[in-house]
Amino acid sequence: MKKLLMLMVLGVFLLTGALLWASGDGQEQEEYDEDTYGPKDPIIWVKPVKSVVFEHKVHTMQGGLECDSCHDDLFEMEAGVAEENEDFTMKTLYEGGYCGACHDGSTAFASNTRCTACHIGARGQARLLGADGATEKTH
Partner 1 sequence: MKIDDLEKMESEDVSSLSSVERRNFLKIGFAVTGMYLGGSVLSLVSVKNAHGASASGVVPELGKYPYNPHYSMVLREKLCIDCERCKDACVKTNNVPSYGFRTTILEKRHSLGEDKYETIFVPVLCNHCNRPPCVRVCPTTATWKDEKTGIVVMEPSRCIGCKTCMAACPYNARYFKEEARTVDKCDFCFQSRLSKGVMTPACVEACPADVRVFGNLADPASRVSQLVHSPETMVWVLRPETGAIPNVFYINS
Partner 2 sequence: MKGNNTTTMPTSSVTVPGNKLMWLSLFLIFIGVAGAVYAQVIGHHHAFANTREMPWGMLIGVYAYFAIVSTGLCLLAAFSHAFGGNQMAPLANRMVWLSIITLLGAFTVIGLEIENVWRMPLGVILHPNVTSNIWWMGTLYGIAVGVMFLELLLILTKRYSIAIILGVVAAITEALANSNLGSVFASLQAKPFWYGSQLPIFFLSCAVLSGAAAIVMFTHFSHLLQRRQMATDTFQGLQTAGKVMVLMTFLVTLATVWKFINAYASNDEMIMAADSLFKGPLAINFWVFEIGLGLVLPGLLLAITRLKSISVMTAAAIMVLVGQFFSRFNLVVSGQIIPSDYGFVGVPQYLPYTPTVSEYLIVVAGLGVVGFGFLIGERFFDETFRTSAH
Residues that bind partner 2 in the complex, under the rule CB under 8 A: 123, 132-139
**Of 29 and 135, which CB lies nearer to partner 2 in the complex structure?**
135
Q: Cα angle vertex 54, ends 48, 59, to 5°? A: 145
Residue 100 and residue 110 in contact, taking contact as beta carbons nearer than 8 Å: no
- Asked if residue 91 binds partner 1 (CB under 8 A), the reply is no
Contacts with 74 (C-beta within 8 Å, 6 or more apart), sequence order? 97, 98, 99, 101
Contact between 121 and partner 1 per CB under 8 A: yes
Torsion of Cα atoms, 75 then 38 then 61 then 125, to 10°: -80
DSSP result, 34-45:
HHHH--SSPEEE
Closer CB to partner 2, residue 20 or residue 122? 122
Please choose, out of 16-24, 27-35, 69-77, 109-117, the segment that lies near partner 1 by the rule CB under 8 A. Answer: 109-117
| Minimum distance of partner 1 from residue 44's CB (angstroms) | 13
- Establish if 49 lies at the interface with partner 1 (CB under 8 A): yes
For partner 1 (CB under 8 A), the number of binding residues is 17
Instruction: Check residue 138 for interaction with partner 1 (CB under 8 A).
Output: yes
